[in-house]
Every structure is written in structure tokens, then in C-alpha cells.
Amino acid sequence: MSDKRQSVISENTLLSDMVKACLQQIKQLEKPWHLLGEKEQKRVIDLLEQDLRLATEHACTVINSNIKQTKVRCGLDKIAFKNGAVITLKVPKGMDGLHDLIDREGEAVDLIVTDIKQFLNSNGKPEADKDQKSLDLANAIADSFDDDAA
């Protein structure tokens, strides 16, 4: 598959996953955002972050795997160099794709090394609107001087 076509598919997958994640949270809102308290807004932001993180991981997997059918997330336990490299991977019990990997034992498989963390960094989370507005003390003091002068 061409890199250009793979990029278009990945962009469409990412956009679709992001829209679905946001829409899922919007549908679950009990009332409009501006009527939610700060605590409720923080909860929604946390849930959105979780959903969007999964969508981003999925898109990264699609991009990095050239749209392969099976993905197995595992830890790299050790590497020994002996007639090439002998690699030991640790796959958690019940991990998606584990049975596909077991079925391929003794066969050639492609190992794609990727660092998804680079796509999960952010410039900080959005913040919930404060339940109480901050006091504008500077203007309040200035107004009290204006009242005294009059």
C-alpha cells in the first residue's frame, strides 16, 4: 500500500475515532456544559482524555502497522545476540491478539517497534470552568476609592 493511501486511511480513522469519542461523552452529559459544576466538568475532561488516548493509540497502530490485522502489545524483556537476535517478549495474559501470535509460532512475523508515547504528549489538559468566579479585588478597591471621592 502506498504511503499516501496509508496516510489518508490513518487520518480518516483518527478523525472518526476522535469524533466518536467526543460524541459519546456529549451524549452522556446530563445538562449543557456551562451548567455543569467544576467537578462534573473535570470528570468529563478525564473521560474524554481516556477515550481520545485510545483513539490516538489506535490511529498510531494503524499507521505503524501498515494496516495489519493483528496487533499484540507486549513488553520487550531481553535481547540476546546469537546468530542474529533472540528476543524475549512478555505478553500479558488475555491480551488481544495473543492467540494469533501463538498460532504463528515457528513462522515469520513482522515486529514493528514503535513509541506511541510521542503521540500521547499534550500541552496540558483543558481545565473545567470554576464553580465560583474569582474576585476582582483590584477593580473592587478602585471602585471603593471612586465612591469615597464622590
Per-residue pLDDT of the chain (150 residues; tens, 9 = 90+): 445 555 555 566 677 778 888 888 888 898 998 999 999 999 999 998 888 888 787 777 766 665 556 778 888 899 999 889 999 989 888 888 888 888 888 988 878 787 777 777 777 777 888 887 776 776 767 666 666 655
H-run or E-run covering 86: strand 85-90
Rounded distance between C-alpha atoms, residue 35 and residue 27, angstroms? 15
Rounded distance between C-alpha atoms, residue 126 and residue 68, angstroms? 34
- What pLDDT is stored for residue 120 in this prediction? 76
Cell of residue 126, nine digits: 483543558
- What pLDDT is stored for residue 56 in this prediction? 80
- What pLDDT is stored for residue 80 in this prediction? 93
Decide: 54 and 21 in contact? Cβ < 8 Å. Answer: yes
The structural domains of the chain, with segments of one domain joined by +, span 3-68+111-149, 70-109
- What pLDDT is stored for residue 69 in this prediction? 62
- What pLDDT is stored for residue 15 in this prediction? 78
- What pLDDT is stored for residue 4 in this prediction? 53
Alpha carbons within 13 angstroms on the beta-carbon side of residue 41 total 14
- What pLDDT is stored for residue 59 in this prediction? 74
Amino acid (1-letter code) at residue 132: Q
